[in-house]
A and B are shown apart, each in its own frame.
Chain A
Amino acid sequence: MRRVNENEPYMLHKIKFGVLSPHEIMKMSRVTVVRPDIYESDGTPVTGGLRDPHFGAIEPGERCPVCGNTREECPGHFGKIDLARPVIVPHYGETIYHILQSTCRVCGRILIPQKRAEYLLNLYDRLRDKWPRLAENLIAEVKKEASSATECPYCGARQFKIRFVKPFTYYEDKPEGETRLNPIDVRERLERTLDDDLRLLGIDPVKSRPEWMVITVLPVPPLSVRPSITLETGFRAEDDLTHALAEIVRQNERLKTFITSNAPETMIEDAWLTLQHVVSAYIDNELPNIYQLTHRRKRPLKTLAQRLKGKEGRLRGNLSGKRVNFSARTVISPDPLIGINEVGVPMEIAKILTVPLRVTPYNIEEARKYILNGPDKWPGATYVYKVRSGKKIDLRYFRNYKQLAESLEIGDIVERHLIDGDIVLFNRQPSLHRMSIMGHIVRVMPYKTFRLNLLVCPPYNADFDGDEMNLHVPRSYEAMVEAKELLLVQKHILTPRYGGPIIGGRQDYISGAYLLTVKTSLFTEDEVARILSRAGYEGGLPEPAIIKPRRMWTGKQLVSLFLPKDLNFKGKAKINAGTLKCDDEDCFHDSYIVVDNGKHLMGVLDKNAIGAEKPENLLHLIALEYGDEEARKLLDTLFKSFIRVLEMRGLTMALSDVDIPESAKDEIRKLTEEYKKRIEDMIKEYREGKLEPIPGRTLEESLELKIIQELQKLREEAGSIAVNNMDPFNDIFIMARTGARGGEVNITQMAAMLGQQTVRGRRITRGFRKRTLPHFREGDLSPEARGFVKGNFRDGLRPTEVFFHAAGGREGLVDTAVKTSQSGYMQRRLINALQDLVVSYDGTVRDTWGNIIQFKYGEDGVDPMVTHHGKPVNIDLIIDKVRGK
């Protein structure tokens, strides 16, 4: 296609792939390679070698002998290797096999009678446009029909079965015995086929004559495809492709000399086969049943197919994904004082990442300031593009900033440092959902880590045990606006994944909220001031809840200061369980949350009110009803005061927190003995064959299941003994009850017992012959011999118990490793299938061709992001609203 202007857009109508013909290969070839060595002893490239100058100019200043250009202009030119004997291209092996089977071994006609063949071809032509899938089926049928013929309908020759051994060997089953068809035989047969017959076999004879699939001449790509690199030592290292090609030339020349010197036929055959293997490996070095080409008998060479395949290959590594500029990566650390929309950027990074600033009359003074600061002082500039001369000035080398600032003109572009208020994209891998990349507002800070607000940890799934994150700078106004309007953190408080808030409190925020709002917490004026000032609160205080002896406020009063004035909310707190259970406002345990017209009247705030990934909580309601800005305000104010409360009070754990009285320990010991006795009896019953089996299970399985069940119960009971003997206001218990961290299981394991350790859901059985460890007798089925741990973390474990605990723990690690790789692959395939689908304006889901995938998005046309945990409307909420409460 000829275009006047290189930048003029044009449309590709279609792309057709075919097989390169020997004629075409020769036409584009500028040099025939006949020598396997690359350099002469004096270091000049060998003429007729793989670095022949006719492959194109590569050295600076060199003129190409073919096109006369220097290396900047010369596109590189192909060469060729004339193969002494033809060779089969392994990837066409299957196609060749089908053709051999379907055509006559003598005359080359398709093995279908003339009349029928004509009819089928006509049918195929008409079918092809309207029903391509059907046309394909027709071809499959034709192949089946033709390959089952035993006699040629044209010349009457008898046909024999062909056997194909991947990737390039064919045998013909003649009556006198099986004989191998060498590539010359194959090529001759393919040459005899007729164009119309080939079309019936689904081959376009104009673009892809089948004999071209057996190559007689091999194209050699130009040096730009296989550049050599000069090592620091001065040695030249050639590309893998060059090495592979050199091996082809070597084998080809060897075959040639055998042929010209009339060597015995077996030797020629042998060299020919070697050539076939080497050419195959040049195309794909990972084919089964070939000799792999290697680099000095070690590393396999990366040949053509290896360049394209896989994650790092051309397609996935260079076309679907690319390296980018204007990005940064470093370790993340928390900063509870910055806003959820913000990100702390190290000064060092801010001085490297830049934003182009087009100079206008309104910002020219600002731009001058950046230039005067230069590239090393923040906020400065790194480059200036002069609009008039089109020159790019690098401020690292042009140090007369004063002159540059003075000569600054409207229309110039200043590459200025990243400054506070810029918007950037922030990302943490694995980027599994859209919240993995969000827009943040820059805050330039000292030190070397990215800082982020703890409330945005859940969407990124980030923690600070060494996690790193990426940052990208949008550099056009369109991109910046798009980032602000669509990607900003506050636009992602609600997630489309399950219709609830994904941003919200975790850990300290939850225990802090609890400690602020719990009934027993009262705050003096001084404390109130400290709490509210962290939230940036400006305004008056309500009447104190207590006046004498001192004026004191409840935490609920303080929370109410931040809630929307007409907010109504009802719901159970997380602590609403066990003895603190109640189902409505009639709650004496402060475990039922009531917010009435913006007044937090009762119920503590914990995970169920302010937690992340908890649908239908207080935060969710505010985000849905009042919008993301109101929710953001709450997260940037009230939530900060939760942390302040925690700082003032302190939250930690001591060994004494998991101490339980001796009486409780005795109780647990007794309980354990009881259970062990029961299990012993079961084992005895089992040995005597008296055990009642569970339907559908063997006797052994039934015993195991029953034992596991019993031990499960034991641990639960031991756990509740421990919990009941604990101070409900000790710090770890607060954490567990409010959902901040840990649960009953963790407390049980610390204070009471670890319980049964399992591998694949069963008691631990493997290890030594008929026993788990040498500490036990063979065939011992008792709990402690099969992974039951009665010790706890507080008192310590016995050696065998440590071993069992480690065995159970290992399984968890293996599981996570396996699960992540499997779900990663599934994710990839799903995304590949779904990435181009769009919900169009008529509500249908379509692909890029306009094909309909779904007639209404989700069948109900509802955006899950704005649902109440998947339900489009929450009737109870509406009823409450209508009734005015």
Chain B
Amino acid sequence: MVNTNKVQLLQLPLAEVVEGLPSKSVKKIDKRILKHELVPEHRVLTLEEAAEVLGRLRVKPWQLPHISINDPVISLIGAKPGDIIEIKRKSPTAGETITYRVVVPY
């Protein structure tokens, strides 16, 4: 059953999570991947934009498709878990299409 509590973004004890888990050695990611033609444009939505998107789609944040915090693009654009990302990508049927994903800490 879908929980129908008031609309709220996910907040998490991330600092603690990172502290609690042994940190993986983070590899330096090459910034140039953002310019690669197969990497679509990612953008972190502002809180207002995110609220608008969630309201329009009538979903809770976790009902969006997920994207890992370990995703190279996510770490490069500095998104945090709970952030909502807008992705603009080419589509064979629609030309260009916009999708949203919520960043998850795993």
Closest to A141 in B: B21
Task: From B31-39, B42-50, B56-64, give the one contacting chain A.
Answer: B56-64
Known: A127-B13, A127-B17, A850-B63. A859 touches B93 (CB 8 A): yes
Report the separation of the CA atoms of residues A852 and B54 in the bound assembly, to the nearest whole angstrom.
Answer: 11
Q: Which residues of B contact A849 (CB under 8 A)?
A: 2, 63
Would you give the shortest CB distance from A217 to chain B, in whole angstroms? 38
User: A113 at the A/B interface (Cβ < 8 Å)?
Assistant: no
Within 8 A of A (CB), among B1-60: 2, 10, 12-13, 16-17, 20-22, 57-59
From A119, A842, A853, give the contact of B20 (CB < 8 A): A119
Are B63 and A851 in contact, with the CB atoms below 8 A? yes
Question: From B65, which residue of chain A is reached at the shortest CB distance?
Answer: A852
A856 interface residue per 8 A CB criterion: yes
With a cutoff of 8 Å between Cβ atoms, the chain B residues found around residue A119 in the complex are: 20
Write the nearest CB–CB distance from B92 to chain A, whole angstroms: 8
Query: B53 CB to closest chain A CB, in angstroms?
Result: 10
Identify the stretch in A129-137, A221-229, A419-427, A631-639 within 8 Å (CB) of chain B at 4 or more residues: A129-137
CB-contact partner of A133 in B10, B94, B106, under 8 A: B106
CB distance from B12 to the nearest CB of A (A): 6
Measured as residues with beta carbon below 8 angstroms from the partner, the interface class of chain A is 20 to 34
| 8 Å CB interface, B77-106 against A | 91, 93-94, 97-100, 104-106
| Complex-state Cα separation, A130 to B10, whole angstroms | 8
Residues of B within 8 A of A141 (CB): 20-22
CB distance from B80 to the nearest CB of A (A): 13
**Chain A residues, Cβ within 8 Å of B63:** 849-852
Within the assembled complex, what's the spacing in Å between the Cα atoms of A272 and B82? 55
Question: B20 touching A860 by the CB < 8 A rule?
Answer: no
Contacts of A855 in B (CB 8 A): 57, 97-100
Tell me which of A133, A850, A859 contacts B59 (CB under 8 A): A850
Q: What A residues does B20 contact at CB under 8 A?
A: 119-120, 123, 138, 141
A138 to B13, CA, bound (A): 13
Interfacial chain A residues near B16, Cβ < 8 Å: 123
Least CB distance, A386 to chain B, in whole angstroms:
44
A599–B36 Cα gap in the complex (Å)? 55
- Tell which of A127, A842, A850, A856 touches B97, judged by Cβ atoms closer than 8 Å: A856
- CA gap between A141 and B99 in the complex, in Å: 33
Known contacts A123-B13, A123-B20, A855-B100: A860-B106 contact under CB 8 Å: no
Collect the chain A residues with CB atoms within 8 Å of residue B13's CB: 123, 126-127
Q: For A124, give the chain B residue with the smallest CB separation.
A: B20
Give complex CA distance A852, B17 in Å: 27
Query: Which of A120, A853, A860, A862 sits near B65, CB closer than 8 Å?
Result: A853
Number of CB contacts from chain A to chain B under 8 A: 66
Q: Are A852 and B59 in contact (CB under 8 A)?
A: yes
Q: Which residues of B contact A749 (CB under 8 A)?
A: none
Chain B residues with Cβ below 8 Å from A127 are: 13, 17
Give the CA-CA distance A858 to B65 in the complex, in Å. 16
**Docked-complex contact A862 and B93, CB < 8 angstroms:** yes
Q: How large is the interface on B (under 10, 10 to 19, 20 to 34, 35 or more residues)?
A: 20 to 34
Is the CB of A292 closer than 8 A to any CB of chain B?
A: no
Contacts of B62 in A (CB 8 A): 851
Q: Are B91 and A860 in contact (CB under 8 A)?
A: yes
Q: Mark A826-858, 1 if CB is under 8 A from B, else 0.
A: 000000000000000010100001111101101
Partner of B12 from the list A130, A842, A844, A853 (CB cut-off 8 Å) is A130
- Residue in chain B with minimal CB distance to A137: B106
Q: How many angstroms from the CA of A130 to the CA of B106 in the assembled complex?
A: 13
Given A123-B16, A127-B17, A131-B105, decide whether A859 and B2 contact each other with a Cβ distance below 8 A. Answer: no
B64 engages A850 (CB within 8 Å): no
Mask: chain A, 135-174; 1 = CB below 8 Å from B; 0 = not: 0011001000100000000000000000000000000000
Interface-central residue, A131, A137, A842, A856, by most chain B CB under 10 Å: A131
Closest to B89 in A: A859
The docked-state distance in angstroms from the alpha carbon of A856 to that of B56 is: 13
Q: Which of B2, B21, B98 contacts A850 (CB 8 A)?
A: B2
B94 contacts A134, C-beta separation under 8 Å:
no
Q: How far is the CA of A853 from the CA of B99 in the complex (A)?
A: 10
Cα distance, A842 to B58, chains bound together (Å): 10
Most chain B beta carbons < 10 A, residue from A130, A134, A862:
A134
Residues of B within 8 A of A844 (CB): 57
Considering only CB atoms, which chain A residue lies closest to B11 in the complex?
A130
Contact partners of B99 in chain A: CB under 8 A: 855
Q: List the B residue with the shortest CB-CB distance to A116.
A: B20
Chain A residues within 8 Å of B10, by CB = 130
Task: Report B6 CB to chain A, min CB distance, Å.
Answer: 15
Question: A859–B94 Cα gap in the complex (Å)?
Answer: 6
Is the pair B2, A134 in contact by a Cβ cutoff of 8 Å? Answer: no
Check if A859 sits within 8 Å of B65, measured CB to CB: no
A131 in complex: contacting residue of B91, B94, B106, CB < 8 Å? B106
- Report the separation of the CA atoms of residues A849 and B3 in the bound assembly, to the nearest whole angstrom: 10
User: Which chain B residues border A131 with CB–CB below 8 Å?
Assistant: 12, 17, 104-106
Please determine whether A134 and B105 come into contact, CB atoms closer than 8 angstroms.
Answer: yes
Residues of B within 8 A of A138 (CB): 17, 20-21
A605 smallest CB distance to B (angstroms): 33
Report the bound CA distance from A859 to B12 in whole Å.
Answer: 32
User: Which residues of A are in contact with B by a Cβ distance under 8 Å?
Assistant: 119-120, 123, 126-127, 130-131, 133-134, 137-138, 141, 145, 842, 844, 849-853, 855-856, 858-860, 862
Q: Give 20 A-B pairs besides A134-B17, A850-B63 with Cβ atoms closer than 8 angstroms.
A: A119-B20, A123-B16, A127-B13, A127-B17, A131-B12, A131-B17, A134-B105, A134-B106, A138-B21, A141-B20, A844-B57, A851-B59, A851-B63, A855-B57, A855-B99, A856-B97, A858-B93, A859-B93, A860-B91, A860-B94
- The list of the 9 closest CB pairs from A to B, nearest first, reads A860-B94, A860-B93, A859-B94, A859-B91, A859-B97, A851-B63, A123-B20, A133-B106, A859-B93
The residues of B with any CB-CB pair to A shorter than 8 Å are 2, 10, 12-13, 16-17, 20-22, 57-59, 62-65, 91, 93-94, 97-100, 104-106
